[in-house]
Every structure is written in structure tokens, then in C-alpha cells.
């Protein structure tokens, strides 16, 4: 997985999203130890203080926790990870509906289109 940072949004917010995605997708496993802030910053080519800020925020959300002497770990609470996954899915769906509305589709029309596309994919 590579770090992809866009130019028009705060870097720390993008780091949060991407680390979350890594946790949700299982790239970082529950209970796994994270690399050091410095290494993660170097890998993403960002300022270490910015990476630190992103990690602190994820810690506040409970997705990460720090063990005083041994480093920073991914939460073992799979329920919490599942909830983060659902929240992210909801965001994607909301954004999709919004885009379809901009194209002039009502929600039922969009759902019908999605259903036929899904049936197409199964076949």
C-alpha cells in the first residue's frame, strides 16, 4: 500500500483516512505494532510532527493505543474496527447518492440502477 496525498486538503486529515483504511482492510492487523513515527513519516514523505498529530487523533478515537515503553499498537477491539468500517462505507454511499442526485437521479432510480448493475456483475 502506498501513501497518496492530495494537494488541496490538510495532510494530517489524509493521513488519518489512509491509516484507517489500512486498519479496516487488514493491512495493519488488530494488535499489530506500528512502525515508529519517524519511520512512518519517512515512508509517507511527510513531516514527523504531522504524522504524530494523525496518530494522536486515531488514538483518541481508540483505533490505536500506546504502551508506554513498547510503542504504538492497533486496537484489538474488532468491534471498533467493524464500526469504523461501517462508518466509512456509509460515507461512500452518501457521497455516491449525492453525485447521482447531481446527475438528476432520484434515490429509488439510483437503487434500481445499482441493482441491475449488481445483477449484471453476478452474471
The residues that touch other proteins, with contacts defined as CB under 8 A, are: 5, 7-13, 38, 41-42, 44-50
Cα torsion angle, 52, 53, 58, 62, sign? positive
Pick the closer one to other proteins by CB: 57 or 77: 57
DSSP state of 33: B
Pick the closer one to other proteins by CB: 25 or 66: 66
Q: What's the min distance (Å) between Cβ of 5 and other proteins?
A: 6
Pick the closer one to other proteins by CB: 5 or 113: 5
Pick the closer one to other proteins by CB: 9 or 86: 9
Q: What's the min distance (Å) between Cβ of 66 and other proteins?
A: 17
Radius of gyration of the chain from its Cα atoms, rounded to whole angstroms: 18
Q: What's the min distance (Å) between Cβ of 37 and other proteins?
A: 10
C-alpha dist (Å) from residue 13 to 24, 68, 72, 123 = 17, 25, 19, 39
Q: What's the min distance (Å) between Cβ of 72 and other proteins?
A: 16
Amino acid at each position: 500500500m502506498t501513501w497518496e496525498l492530495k494537494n488541496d486538503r490538510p495532510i494530517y486529515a489524509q493521513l488519518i483516512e489512509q491509516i484507517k483504511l489500512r486498519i479496516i482492510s487488514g493491512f495493519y492487523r488488530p494488535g499489530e505494532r506500528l512502525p515508529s513515527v519517524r519511520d512512518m513519516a519517512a515512508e509517507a514523505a511527510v513531516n514527523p510532527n504531522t504524522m504524530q498529530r494523525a496518530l494522536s487523533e486515531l488514538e483518541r478515537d481508540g483505533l490505536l493505543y500506546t504502551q508506554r515503553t513498547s510503542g504504538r499498537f492497533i486496537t484489538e477491539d474488532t468491534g471498533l474496527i467493524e464500526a469504523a468500517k461501517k462508518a466509512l462505507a456509509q460515507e461512500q454511499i452518501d457521497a455516491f447518492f449525492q453525485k447521482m442526485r447531481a446527475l438528476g437521479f432520484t434515490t429509488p432510480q439510483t437503487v434500481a440502477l445499482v441493482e441491475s448493475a449488481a445483477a449484471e456483475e453476478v452474471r
